[in-house]
Amino acid sequence: MTDQSDLVGAEGKASKPEKAGKSGSDKVPEDIGAQLEAALISTDRPLNQARLSEVVGDGRGVISVKVIKQAIADLNVSYKESGRVFCIEQVADGWQIMTLSEYAHVAAALNRTRAQTKLSPAAMETLAIVAYKQPALKADVETIRGVACGEVLRSLMERRMIKIVGRAEELGRPMLYGTTKSFLEVFGLKNLKDLPNVEELKPSK
């Protein structure tokens, strides 16, 4: 739980009050951690700072990102110390409660219906190429895969995993593809820097 003396001061002798909004009277709720936990556990989508600020505190959107980050860090410490099987991770531009990787198989077993709609091997291959080479041309993807990829690219766009990010400066101005925020959310990534290193994906000898 966040120590209030670190955030809002005590009797005017500790640190200055945390100002999350324009008013100096806006103080951090004592149960800020519990409120954040309640918000995050109620959704299966990442919540960004603006959204969390709307639903915690007095609902006026005055809780600062610094306070939210500290409260989340405190929650994660308490989760680890108590042996919980989840933690709060930063995903895309928000935060989400995630199952620890060593227990991912349990969560997967409870989502068999989702497994039926999982991406095909062809879609996964195409998505991986776009993710690592973006902005990627359709021709580049097809050269690497060795097959036509038009239908697969359209399917990934319908699933909102990729999008058109521009056009190449070459003859015909072909479209360039890149991944979306939904891609980050589905794979639990904070940003593209969290993608595994290509070298790490090679099988060990």
- Residue by residue, DSSP assigns 76-93 as HHHHHHTT-SEEEEEETT
pLDDT at 168 over 60: yes
Average pLDDT over residues 140-150: 92
CB atoms within 10 A of CB 151: 11
In the chain, the N- to C-terminal Cα span, in Å, equals 46
Residue 22 pLDDT: 40
Q: pTM of this prediction?
A: 0.48
The residues near 195 (Cβ < 8 Å, ≥ 6 apart) are 131, 132, 189
Task: Output the pLDDT for position 20.
Answer: 39
171-203 pLDDT, tens per residue?
888 999 999 988 888 887 888 888 888 765 555
pLDDT at 193: 87
Q: Sheet of 136-137: strands edge to edge?
A: 136-137, 175-179, 162-167
Q: Nearest to residue 96, comparing CAs of 17, 11, 184? A: 184
Split at pLDDT 50, 70, 90, the class of 88 is: very high
Please answer whether residues 195 and 189 qualify as being in contact, where contact means their C-beta atoms are separated by less than 8 angstroms: yes
Residue 8: both structure tokens together: 């809002």
Please report the pLDDT score of residue 162 as a whole number: 93
In the structure, what pLDDT confidence band is assigned to residue 6 with cuts at 50, 70 and 90?
A: very low
Highest mean pLDDT among 7-11, 75-79, 102-106, 169-173: 75-79
Q: What is the pLDDT of residue 178?
A: 95
CATH number listed for the domain at residues 119-201: 1.10.10.10
Residues of CATH 1.10.10.10 domain(s) within the chain?
4-106, 119-201
- Residue 82, pLDDT > 70, answer yes
Q: Peptide bond before 135: cis, by omega within 30 degrees of 0? A: yes
pLDDT at 25: 37
pLDDT given at position 74: 93
CATH of domain 4-106: 1.10.10.10
Residue 105, phi-psi category: left (phi > 0), alpha (psi -120 to 50), beta (remainder): alpha
Quick check: 12 pLDDT over 70?
no
Tens digit of each residue's pLDDT (9 = 90 or more) over 55-74: 887 666 578 888 889 999 99
Lowest-pLDDT range of 54-58, 75-79, 98-102: 54-58
Is the pLDDT at 87 greater than 80? The verdict is yes
> Tokens 């928000």 — which residue?
94
